Amino acid sequence: SLRLAIVYSSVTGNTEQLAEMIQKAALDQGFRTELYRIEEFSLAAILDYDVVLIGTYTWGSGEIPEEMHSLYQAVEKLGRKEQWTAVFGTGDSFFAEFCGAVDRFRDMLYVKTQLVATLKVELTPQQNDVLRCEKLIELIREKEMQ
Ligand code: FMN
């Protein structure tokens, strides 16, 4: 089966909770899945995974957090069209660019990789977000079966 890596950054825990929800959905659907905080993830390991799922909060004015820049640049530079990706995040719709960091990753991943799915959540994930996480993983399963 496919190998999945979930790589995320989180300051106040929202994106971490979402990453854990996605990991549970992936494990429940039988995928080998490893969860990494960005600080624990070696960029060279991107090549070890069939699917890389990137999780990010947004800061500044719709911006990608500093600690996620090297991952962004590594994926962009690799430009592996056979690499499957997804991007998810939490944000606060009080801000003009809701989950702007997810949008920025999405635009790059769409060009440089095979972007399978995106997911945005308002602040702390809720019970109904479990279904959305399951749906995200189902999109990976569907693509695997094509
Ligand atoms: N959320 C957005 O959707 N867009 C933004 O532009 C944005 N800017 C932010 C700027 C600052 C200084 C802070 C503190 C938060 C901002 N947020 C923005 C909200 C965070 O992305 C949101 O609280 C997120 O859930 C935090 O994730 P975490 O709990 O994983 O750290």
Would you list the DSSP string of 59-105? BTTTBPPGGGHHHHHHHHHH--TT-EEEEEEEE-TTSSSTTHHHHHH
**Ligand 1 in contact with 95 (CB < 6 A)?**
yes
Contact between residue 68 and residue 76 where contact means Cβ atoms under 8 Å apart: no
Cα separation, 5 vs 85, whole angstroms: 10
**3-class DSSP state of 107:** helix
**What confidence tens digit (pLDDT) does each residue in 54-108 have?**
999 999 999 999 999 999 999 999 999 999 999 999 999 999 999 999 999 999 9
From the list 86, 90, 97, the residue with the least C-alpha distance to 51 is 86
- Residue 115's DSSP bridge partners are 85
Q: Which domains does the chain have, with CATH numbers?
A: 3-145 (3.40.50.360)
Indicate the pLDDT class of residue 1, thresholds 50, 70 and 90.
Answer: confident
Do residues 116 and 143 touch, judged by C-beta distance below 8 A? yes
Ligand 1 pocket residue status of 122, Cβ below 6 Å: no
**Ligand 1 atom nearest residue 10's Cα:** 30
Pocket lining: 9 vs ligand 1, CB cutoff 6 Å = no
Check pocket membership of 126 for ligand 1, CB cut-off 6 A: no
